[in-house]
Amino acid sequence: MAITLWDLTGAEADRRFSPYCWRIKLALRHKGLEYATIPWRLIDKGVIAFSGQGKVPVIKDGETVVSDSWTIANYLEDTYPDRPSLFGGEGGRATGRFVVDWAELALMAGIFPMIAADINGILDAETQAYFRSTRETFLGRTLEAAQAERETRMESFRRGLVPLRRMLKFQPFISGAAAGWHDYAAFSVFQWARCASPLQLLAADDPVHAWRERMLDLFDGFARKAVGFPV
């Protein structure tokens, strides 16, 4: 029986932009597990109340409900040990957590202000009101004011990619010779950005750009084919 994934969507039902859902969709493909998605909006808290919390991703696998992308990744690795490993052993699992937290600071926190108004632009009107209210409180200014600073923020963002850029001199993926959880955790943030915004985050000659291209090509171009902006 296929796994069900509640997957964040914009005004268009096929614009699936959550980085946390993207890393799980890629993890499910990595494991070769069948799944079906249910589009879910930020304001549809009641729909996923059965999970005991209010955020996606949520998966239902048979009678088992799991939420939080890190918890889901560990669930998939432990429940389907005969499928290709997401982590590549216990050291990879442990550092999988570190990469999640690095992606949160260096990627998410860096990119969010630069595309805050663009994200709002892909939402339906009802969700926009919720998004604007909660995110402007978080940012301490309007979405448009935050996004207007993108030129001055870009250099610092790209400098923060140094660990990723340097690592790519040694190997094609963070997880090593082939992509794995560490790559999905980081790439999903770039995929979130391209689903929501035309902003070009990476210079064409950046090794991080070449890595992102490899990630877009995985699973027969799965992420590249998704509704989003060209990068």
Residue in 18, 51, 127, 175 binding a second copy, rule: CB under 8 A: 175
Q: Which is nearer to a second copy, 111 or 122 (CB)?
A: 111
CA–CA distance, 34 with 62 (Å, rounded to integer):
12
174 sits near a second copy (criterion: CB under 8 A): yes
3 state DSSP class of 192: helix
* Nearest partner of 66 among 100, 28, 99, 30, judged by Cα: 28
163 sits near a second copy (criterion: CB under 8 A): yes
CA–CA distance, 101 with 185 (Å, rounded to integer):
9
Question: What is the nearest approach in angstroms of a second copy to the Cβ of residue 176?
Answer: 3
Structure tokens at 177: 């010779």
104 sits near a second copy (criterion: CB under 8 A): yes
98 sits near a second copy (criterion: CB under 8 A): yes
81 sits near a second copy (criterion: CB under 8 A): no
CB atoms within 10 A of CB 65: 14
211 sits near a second copy (criterion: CB under 8 A): no
How far are the Cα atoms of 108, 110, 169, 179 from residue 157, in angstroms, in the given order? Answer: 10, 6, 20, 23
Candidates 50-58, 101-109, 129-137, 147-155: pick the segment binding a second copy (CB under 8 A). 101-109
Residue in 29, 83, 97, 141 binding a second copy, rule: CB under 8 A: 97
Buried b (16+ CB within 10 A) or exposed e, 166-197: eebeeeebbbeeebbbbbbbbbbbbbbbbbbb
Q: Which is nearer to a second copy, 32 or 163 (CB)?
A: 163
Question: What is the nearest approach in angstroms of a second copy to the Cβ of residue 87?
Answer: 5
Question: Which residues contribute to the site for a second copy (CB under 8 A)?
Answer: 70, 85, 87-99, 101-102, 104-106, 160, 162-164, 166-167, 170-171, 173-177, 180-182
